[in-house]
Amino acid sequence: MTDEKGLFCGKILADLGADVIQVEKPHGNPARRIPPFCANDAGPEKSLYWFAFSAGKRSVTLDLDTDAGKGVLLRLCKTADFVIESFPVGYLQRAGLGYEVLSRAHPGLIMASITPFGETGPYRDYKAGDLVASAMGGMVYCTGEPDRAPLRISVDQAYCQVSVHAAIGLLLALHDRATSGQGQHVDVSMQASMVRTLHTQLPYWEYSKHIVQRSGARRFRGGAATREIWPCKDGFVSWMFFGGAVGTQQMQTMVKWLESKGMAGSLSGEVDDWATLDLTKVSPDKIRSWERIIGNFFLAHSKKVLYEEALEKRIPLTPVNAISGVAEDEQLAARDFWVDIEHPELGTSIRYPGALFLTGDEASIPTVRRRAPLLGEHNEEVYIGEMGMGTDEFKSLRGTGVI
């Protein structure tokens, strides 16, 4: 029972092999109308967003604003392990469908409630989307160029992070239920989930009251910010400056590489011993002069040439792949990462990211097993075939718009 805030949580569980049923309002989940759309044809059965985050699930429709709909949900929950919901705080309680009510008939039921700020605290009733949660969780402040305003990451982050945390919470509660026999209510906050991503920024503040500033294509380490993303002849590569014992071999090898191409400039002989170099003691102007030399070298070569030669020299350099590069990556292909899923109603198949990880038991490898469901596609299958609803009751509920 989630909108876009929690769709990914159900997707994770479906990939792991769970039977996930998306309970939608009769007019459909709002995420079905989020672009982009397949072939640019807008419609509730064409959303690529819906495809991505609902693949592997089944769909039933149910109007929870009716007494009959509430009764059907209670029957559904009697055989469920998990309920995932992202309604505003208090909505289910006011509807008579809070965790206390749902778990009364099924004490082992585990519910995850996904909300912008959690179900307690002064912000509990505030509304927020991905951008607000990302901003208030600290990520937006850290993203972008140092001399410009903060930026959001282009793809939703808070929704995905909170869904991952919700899935973890559900699985931990399931593990506990194996010994206690009791279910739990898992309360997950989008804001708190984003704070958990700030692994570098939090320690700097905690121990030195230092706010790590935005560094764009650079990476802040100690008192130095050095470039990490570099333009090259046909795109970008990632490579970092290192001083001290860690950087000795790679920097010496990098300088020799530039020398072999006649492009080392002042880097030849300018540093006597990279092992003793403390980058935090090097002036920003000097670092920029070294970056210009190395940057010109990268600009003269393609990603493929730079990557292959760096690999031979054991220099940690990698291409920055666009999605086209990811889709064509030979490593992912070798691991059969991609899965082609048929969409018969569209007359085509769509390629999806597949296995989260590989195991010795091929049948238990988590992967996408079916396309995202059409609206209410499994109503009869679930209500009549599995829940045991009579045909007359089903037709009556469908006729009155409850399902």
**347: its two tokens:** 């007359």
In a domain, residue 204? The reply is no
Are 223 and 311 found together in one domain? yes
**Edge to edge, what strands does the sheet with 229-232 contain?**
229-232, 235-238, 318-319
| Each residue's pLDDT tens digit, 183-192 | 999 999 999 9
343 forms bridges with which residues in the sheet? 348
In a domain, residue 341? The reply is no
Are 173 and 253 found together in one domain? no
Count of the separate structural domains present in the chain? 2
Who wins on pLDDT, 204 or 150?
150
Q: In angstroms, rounded to a whole number, what is the distance separating the alpha carbons of residues 33 and 30?
A: 6
| Each residue's pLDDT tens digit, 280-323 | 788 888 888 999 999 999 999 999 999 999 999 999 999 999 99
What are the contacts of 167-172 at 24+ separation with CB within 8 A? 167/9, 167/12, 167/13, 169/112, 170/9, 170/13, 170/82, 170/84, 170/110, 170/112
In a domain, residue 346? The reply is no
Identify which of 38, 39, 24 has the alpha carbon closest to the alpha carbon of residue 85: 24
- When computed from its CA atoms, the radius of gyration of the chain, rounded to whole angstroms, is 26
| Each residue's pLDDT tens digit, 113-146 | 999 999 999 999 999 999 999 999 999 999 999 8
Are 313 and 243 found together in one domain? yes
Are 152 and 71 found together in one domain? yes
Range of the domain at 315: 217-320
Helix (H, G, I), strand (E, B) or coil at 224: strand
Strand-pair category, 348-353 with 82-85: unpaired
Are 180 and 227 found together in one domain? no
Helix (H, G, I), strand (E, B) or coil at 295: helix
The residue from 290, 320, 350 where one domain ends is: 320
Are 126 and 32 found together in one domain? yes
In a domain, residue 366? The reply is no
Instruction: Identify the band that residue 254 occupies on the pLDDT scale cut at 50, 70 and 90.
Output: very high
In a domain, residue 118? The reply is yes
Round to the nearest angstrom and report the end-to-end CA distance of the chain: 14
For every residue of 52-94, DSSP letters joined together read HHHTT-EEEE--TTSHHHHHHHHHHHTT-SEEEE-PPTTHHHH
In a domain, residue 349? The reply is no
CATH code of the domain in which 302 resides: 3.30.1540
**225: its two tokens:** 């910010």
| Each residue's pLDDT tens digit, 363-397 | 888 889 999 999 999 999 999 999 999 999 999 99
The residue from 302, 320, 338 where one domain ends is: 320
CATH code of the domain in which 150 resides: 3.40.50.10540
Are 18 and 153 found together in one domain? yes
The residue from 320, 350, 381 where one domain ends is: 320
Instruction: Give the global pTM.
Output: 0.90
In a domain, residue 207? The reply is no
In a domain, residue 326? The reply is no
Are 18 and 143 found together in one domain? yes
Over 90: is that where the pLDDT of 166 sits? Answer: yes
